[in-house]
A and B are shown apart, each in its own frame.
Chain A
Amino acid sequence: MQNYDIVVIGGGPAGLAAAAEAKRSGIDSILILERDHELGGILNQCIHNGFGLHTFKEELTGPEYAKRFMDQVFELGIEYKLNTMVIDITDSKVVTAMNKTDGMFQIQAKAVILAMGCRERPRGALNIPGYRPAGIFSAGTAQRLVNIEGYLPGREVVILGSGDIGLIMARRMTLEGAKVKVVA
């Protein structure tokens, strides 16, 4: 079993920033575990701007903002593993993870930082009744399809939820040439 002082779970801005700060505070043995094939977390698909006003006093897009933290991690030489999924953490801080090359492995950590971001609650969790056809997406899934995968989920769109996320998606879909019929 490998040993690390800190295992950071999640390579989004929170995990990257936490790892960088720990390193600057004098801890050398740090490992970041990220399940995606790149660092940056959800911000990689948030290609609109408006990030970084507080921290960097600049308007950055999501990927640009994430890149700032990636650069810190690269400069500080912090270890990370991509495509690596953590599947268990024990009370004694043994982290079990897996990927294609290392297989399933365990790490004894002195501290574990949880920075896995969050999971969207699907339509079912809100108990919205009706049929279950194709074409109903959470904002994040639709955003990923458009911004990362490069596919349009449809030409006629209804958006349920008019918070900033709903509006960001309304703008994005409109820019893609879709007709946003309602934001409710």
Chain B
Amino acid sequence: MIYDVVIIGAGVSGSAIARELSKYKLNTVVLEKFEDVCSGTSKANSAIVHAGFDAAEGSLMAKLNVEGNEMMGDLAKDLDIPFKRNGSLVVCIHKEELPGLQDLYNRGIANGVKDLKILSKEEVLAMEPNLSDDVEGALYAPTGGIICPFMLNIAMAENANVNGVDFRFNTEVEGFRKEGDVWVVRTNNGEYRTRYVVNAAGVYADNLHNMVSADKIHITPRRGDYCLLDKEMGAHVSHTIFPQPTKLGKGVLVSPTIHGNLIVGPTAIDIEDKEGTATTAEGINDLITKAGMHVKNLPVGRKVITSFAGLRAHEDHHEFIIGECKDAPGFIDCSGIESPGLTSSPAIGRMVAGIVVDLAKPEKKSDWVGTRKGITNPSTLSLEERNALIKENPAYGQIICRCESISEGEILDAIHRPLGARSLDGVKRRVRAGMGRCQGGFCSPRVMEILHRELGIPVEKITKSGGESVIAPELSKNRKGGEE
């Protein structure tokens, strides 16, 4: 069969594009080399819905950031995912740098960011008492927000899938060939024939682009390390606190997460390895020092529950590269999607789909469903509602993850919904089992048991995140029946 569109990569970009394309009568498939959606950069970032004052005036990045930010409210509602406009503050701690705030403000206005305001020391301290005593003023962007990056990615993919887009996991694109007007996409799992290819491969997008185009691009994985703090610290600040930006990026922020933790990070370290998501002691120490310059009483060392790193797909010109490849008709790039890629994703989806639609001229579907019912979160329900839920499905009465109070019912939903979870991390990203204070110490054996029971995967084959990542590869002697 010949597909209309092959999308490479099931991160936020690929998933947003898939969802937009699912509005049309097109045969679309998403190829993802990992076992699940949201397995690349989209799973490890600050999860801030940026207001849009950072990106250079007139850049595509600035345009899509502001559009994406504006679209996020409705999208989050439609897809039933948590999102909050908690507002961002860029904090100045050196008097001589106050003009920098004005520059940012001006850029924001030029980019079309609404409701920006420069605050005095007194005003900003009244909003955030835990800011450093050195604070001199701040830029306030009420449209800045926080989101669940996993659910944004997963929900867009689910919704695309429900509307007919296929997803193939553990499928890595290895090369391309052209047969007339048809692209033949070679993977470890066979070939896919298609009229159009969309390259949304994150840090790998340059490799794929360079296979088909003489006009080379180059992406540097720019690592960002983070510390995630216990929910006890979740109210330490209520806005997202940024330092003033530098050449390397937006700097180390301190922010509540949508789930009530406090996130501190990221660093910005250029590396070569496109899978180099290992944190380093220097990186972590660096971000602890930097965070402490703007926010006081921050016990990162004592309250951290985990640290992690994500890789920005930094293209040499620090710009999103979106468009049909001039020397490879039908091959559409969506590359260089570094921050604010998460924020921009709804707008990226719309723009890339627009390019495909202009080329393919498909008909619109009449039965497209743009809404999705999220996984029921019992902790948002009243006692009565919760009891009704447990009565209807007793699995909601069995708590599996103690730290986050996640019930078996939620885990079953995560497994059985479209594009459901098949690994511990898959469950974790969908319902947070294992994302709390003990980081899965208690619940992982139980979640393994549930995955085994529901999917028929032997426990010894259950993985943390697909591939080789099995957790308990053998039966114990006792279970083997003492043959040893």
A residues with CB within 8 A of B:
35, 83, 85, 87, 96, 98-104, 106, 119-125, 127, 129-135, 137-138, 140-141, 144-155, 175-177
Instruction: List B contacts of A155 (CB < 8 A).
Output: 473-474
B325 within 8 A of A: no
- Once the chains bind, are B441 and A98 in contact (CB under 8 Å)? no
Q: Is the CB of A150 within 8 A of B476?
A: yes
Identify the interface centre among A100, A153, A154: most chain B CB within 10 Å of its CB. Answer: A100
CB pairs A–B below 8 angstroms (27 shown): A35-B402, A85-B402, A98-B390, A103-B387, A103-B397, A104-B386, A104-B397, A119-B402, A119-B442, A122-B439, A123-B439, A125-B304, A125-B306, A127-B301, A133-B464, A134-B465, A134-B469, A140-B441, A144-B445, A145-B445, A146-B476, A147-B476, A149-B448, A150-B476, A152-B473, A153-B472, A177-B484
Contact-residue size bin, chain B (C-beta under 8 Å from the other chain): 35 or more
Q: Are B477 and A177 in contact (CB under 8 A)?
A: yes
- Name the distance in Å between A116's Cβ and chain B's nearest Cβ: 9
Partner of B441, one of A103, A129, A138: A138
- In the assembled complex, which residues on chain A have CB atoms less than 8 Å from the CB atom of B464? 133-134
Per-residue 0/1 for B391-428: is the Cβ within 8 Å of any A Cβ (1 yes, 0 no)? Answer: 10011011100110100000000000000000000000
- Structural contact, A129 and B280, CB atoms closer than 8 A: yes
Q: Mark B2-33, 1 if CB is under 8 A from A, else 0.
A: 00000000000000000000000000000000
Contact A153–B405 (Cβ < 8 Å): no
Additional 4 contacts, C-beta under 8 A, given A99-B398, A100-B395, A129-B284: A121-B438, A129-B279, A148-B445, A152-B475
The residue among B279, B397, B463 with the most chain A CB atoms within 10 A of its own CB is B397
1/0 contact string of B457-484 vs chain A (CB within 8 Å): 0011001110001111111111100001
Measured between beta carbons, the chain B residues less than 8 angstroms from A133 are 464, 469
CB within 8 Å for A132 and B308 given contacts A100-B398, A104-B383? yes
CA distance A16 to B277 in the complex (A): 45
Task: Give residues 425-451 of B contacting A (CB, 8 Å).
Answer: 437-442, 444-445, 448-449
**CA A177 to CA B472, docked complex, whole Å:** 14
Most chain B C-beta atoms within 10 Å of own C-beta, residue among A99, A120, A134: A134
Interface pair B441/A122, CB less than 8 Å apart = yes
Question: B471 contacts which of A35, A135, A150, A177 (Cβ < 8 Å)?
Answer: A135
